[in-house]
Structure 1
Amino acid sequence: MATYTAEQISGYLQHIGYSQDVKQHFAEDPLGLLTRIQILHMARVPFESLSLHYSKHRTVSLDPQDLFTKVVVRGRGGYCMEVNAFFATVLRTLGFALFSTGGRVRGDAGYKGWDHMVNIVTIDNQRYLVDVGFGTNGPTRPVPLQHEHQFITVFPTKGMLEYRGIDAHTDPSQKTWVYSVRQQEDSPWAEMYCFGELEFIPGDFDVMNMRTSSAPQSFFVQSVMCMQTVLDENQREPVGKRILHRDYIKMLNGNETVVTRRLLSEADRVEALKKYFNIVLSAEEQNGIKGLASELKDRSKHA
C-alpha cells in the first residue's frame, strides 16, 4: 500500500499545526495521537467539491501523490474519497493499522448506493470509525465500533453507532453499522450513513469515484461547497462549522446557525473562498465554471 516519505509527513504535520514529537506520541498514546491529528486535520483540510466546478477537466484523482500535492502543497481539500484516502495514507505511514471501506449515504428517498468512503483503524484490538470527509454532521473524533455507542460531534449534536439492519435490506438477518445524529437531546435520531467491515480495494473506489464525480444527480456535481471545522481558541476542541454552500457562507455554533454572508457573484464567491478558507483559485480555475449550472450569476446590480 502507498505511504508518504518522512519529508512529506513532516510537511503535512506542519500544515495542520501539529507540533509534538509524533513518534513518541504514537508510542505512548496512539488513540490520543489519532484523535489529535483528526481534529487538526478537519480544521485545516476542507471538505469541498471545488475541483468539479473550478477546473477545465472537472475530474478527481485518488492517487496518493496527487492528493498530497492538492492538500499540502496547494492547501486544498476534497470530497470524502479524496480526503479519506489521503488521511488513510498519512495514518498508514505513521504506523496505524487500518483499512478503508465503502458507505451508503441516506438521502430523502432512503439509502443510496456506494457513494461514501470511511476508514476503520484498529488500536489495541478495538476498531474505530475514522471519517474526515462527511461534512456538517460527520464525526470529529475516532468512534469505537460498539453497538449503541453515543458521542458528541460538535456540541450539542450527538452521534451514535448501531449494528443492525436497515430498511433497504430484504434479508432480516443482514446487519451493518449505522451512523446517526441528533441535534438536541429531545430530537429524533436521523440516520446519516451505513457501512460494513469489508475492506474495499482501490478499484472499488475508482468505480465509486467515477459516478460521484460525474453523475448529474450527484450532490457534488450540482453544488459548490466548502466546509471546515472551527476549533476553540486553544485549538483543542471543535466548537462549530464554517460552511460555504452555493451562494452563502454560514456558521454553525452549537444550536445557532448564522448566515454571515450572501454571495452575489462568482467574484464574491472566489473572494469568500480566499477569506474564509484560505483557498486561492487561479484565473484558469475560475474560468472553468463558466457555463455550468453551478456558476453564480452576477446579482450584485440587483442587490
Structure 2
Amino acid sequence: MSSPHPIYTEAQLEKYLQRINHPSHNHGSSLEEVREKIQTDALGTLAELQRLHLAAIPWGNSGLHYSNHHTISLDPEMIFQKMVERRLDGYCMETTGLLFNVLLCLGYRVYATGGRVSRAVATGVDDGQFKSFGHMVLIVAIGDLKYMVDVGFGANCATAPLPLQDGATATRIAPSDMRLVRQSLTASFDKEQKVWVYQSRHNPESNWLPCICFSEVEFLPQDFELMNFGTSQQRTSWFTQTFVCTRMILDPSGQEVIGQDVMVGKQIKRRIHSNTEILEELQNEEDRVRALALHFDMHLRQEEILGIRGLSSELK
C-alpha cells in the first residue's frame, strides 16, 4: 500500500469521487476540480475528502460475517472493487487504505502508520492500557506541518485532519471534541519515548478518554498484512464475533459532520449532535439485510447473506 507509483487509474479516481458524492460545480471532471483545489487549498481539500468519505463509505466488518470466506483483503484493487464498485463497507485497514491510495494518486505527501487502540474505548475507563497494533492512521504533510487523518475508527473516528501538535483540539461532532496529546505510555519502560494519543470527549464537561496511540514511524504493506491477519482471524478479536456498521451524517451544506448512524447488535441508532434515537429494532437476519440496504446503501448478494449462518453474530 505504499507504492511510489500511482495505484488507481484516472477513471478509478473519478469513480471514487462519485462514490463519496463529491460535488462537480462546473459540470465537468470532479477529478480535475479536486486537483485544482489541492493547488490552492491542500488542507481544505483534504478535510473535504475526509468528511465526504466518512459520510459515504460505511465503516464495518461485513467481510468477516456476510461472506463465504470470512477474510479481509488489503489488496488495493480488491478494496476498490469492494467499497467503490460494490458500495460495501470496510474496516480500518480497508477504508483508510482506500483513502491512502487515493491521496497518493492525488499527489499528497502521505504515509500510513500503525496504531494501538485504547482499552478505554470499550470500557469507558482510562486505565492507561492499549491493545496491540491493530489500527491504521494516515500522516499527511502539508507545508511545514503534519496531520493525522483517519476514516476507519467507527463511531469515535476523527472527523477532520488534526495537526501533530501537542494539545491540538477541534470539534468532532458537536458537542464532542477531539485532540492530540504527546505522552509516554503507562506500560513503557522508557518514559522518554513518547507517542501521539488521539483522545475524545462527549462534551466540554466530560473527561478526555484515549482512543488511539501512534508514532510517526512509517508502516509498510507487510506490517499491515500481519496486523490484518490478527485483527480479522483471531478468535478473541471483537471483529470476528460482532457485526457492526457505522456511517457519518453531514449537514445539508456538506460542510460539517453532525451525527452518525450505528448498527450493532439488534439496534440501529441515529445520533445527531448529543441526541440519540433508535431507528429500528432488528429481530432476525431478514430485518438486518433489509436495514443495511435502507440505511447504509449496502446491497448484499445471496451467497454473502448465507455466509453468516452458524456464526455467533447471526441474528435469530
Give the TM-score category using the shorter length.
over 0.9
Partner of 1:86: 98
**Number of residues of Structure 1 aligned to a counterpart in Structure 2:** 297
Looking at structure 1, the residues matched to 173 and 187 of structure 2 have their Cα atoms a distance apart, in angstroms, of: 29
Work out which of the residue numbers 231, 236, 252 in structure 2 matches 1:217: 236
Is it true that 1:269 corresponds to 2:258 in the alignment? no
How many angstroms does 1:19 deviate by? 2.6
Alpha carbon RMSD of aligned pairs, Å? 1.0
Looking at structure 2, the residues matched to 259 and 266 of structure 1 have their Cα atoms a distance apart, in angstroms, of: 18
Looking at structure 1, the residues matched to 171 and 236 of structure 2 have their Cα atoms a distance apart, in angstroms, of: 31
Looking at structure 1, the residues matched to 245 and 190 of structure 2 have their Cα atoms a distance apart, in angstroms, of: 38
Partner of 1:14: 18
Please list the CA deviations of residues 187-213 of structure 1 after superposition, one character each: whole Å capped at 9, or x if unmatched: 111111100000000000000000100
SS in 1 for 2:154: coil
SS in 2 for 1:140: coil
Looking at structure 2, the residues matched to 233 and 121 of structure 1 have their Cα atoms a distance apart, in angstroms, of: 28
Partner of 2:30: none
How many angstroms does 1:236 deviate by? 1.9
Is it true that 1:62 corresponds to 2:74 in the alignment? yes
User: 1:90 corresponds to which letter in structure 2?
Assistant: V
What pairs with 1:22-61 in structure 2 (closer than 5 Å)?
A: 22-61=34-73
Looking at structure 1, the residues matched to 37 and 53 of structure 2 have their Cα atoms a distance apart, in angstroms, of: 17
CA contact (8 A) 2:88 2:299 kept: no
CA contact (8 A) 2:66 2:305 kept: yes
Normalising by structure 2, we get a TM-score of 0.92
Looking at structure 2, the residues matched to 27 and 233 of structure 1 have their Cα atoms a distance apart, in angstroms, of: 26
Higher mean displacement: 13-22 or 183-192: 13-22
Looking at structure 2, the residues matched to 231 and 119 of structure 1 have their Cα atoms a distance apart, in angstroms, of: 22
Partner of 1:301: none
Looking at structure 2, the residues matched to 68 and 211 of structure 1 have their Cα atoms a distance apart, in angstroms, of: 22
What pairs with 1:201-212 in structure 2 (closer than 5 Å)?
A: 201-212=220-231
Work out which of the residue numbers 106, 109, 126 in structure 1 matches 2:118: 106
Partner of 2:272: 253
Looking at structure 1, the residues matched to 222 and 38 of structure 2 have their Cα atoms a distance apart, in angstroms, of: 31
How many angstroms does 1:216 deviate by? 1.5
Looking at structure 1, the residues matched to 265 and 93 of structure 2 have their Cα atoms a distance apart, in angstroms, of: 21
How many angstroms does 1:170 deviate by? 1.8
CA contact (8 A) 2:155 2:260 kept: yes
Looking at structure 1, the residues matched to 66 and 106 of structure 2 have their Cα atoms a distance apart, in angstroms, of: 33
Over the matched positions of the two proteins, sequence identity in percent amounts to: 40
SS in 2 for 1:136: helix
Looking at structure 2, the residues matched to 98 and 144 of structure 1 have their Cα atoms a distance apart, in angstroms, of: 14
Normalising by structure 1, we get a TM-score of 0.96
User: 1:280 corresponds to which letter in structure 2?
Assistant: H
Partner of 2:308: 289
Gaps of 5+ in 1: 298-303
User: 1:233 corresponds to which letter in structure 2?
Assistant: P
CA contact (8 A) 2:251 2:257 kept: yes
What pairs with 1:98-247 in structure 2 (closer than 5 Å)?
A: 98-107=110-119, 108=123, 110-247=129-266
How many angstroms does 1:62 deviate by? 0.3
Looking at structure 1, the residues matched to 99 and 195 of structure 2 have their Cα atoms a distance apart, in angstroms, of: 23
CA contact (8 A) 2:242 2:312 kept: no
Please list the CA deviations of residues 234-253 of structure 1 after superposition, one character each: whole Å capped at 9, or x if unmatched: 22211001111121100111
Please list the CA deviations of residues 61-115 of structure 1 after superposition, one character each: whole Å capped at 9, or x if unmatched: 0000111101110001200000111110000000000110000001147210001
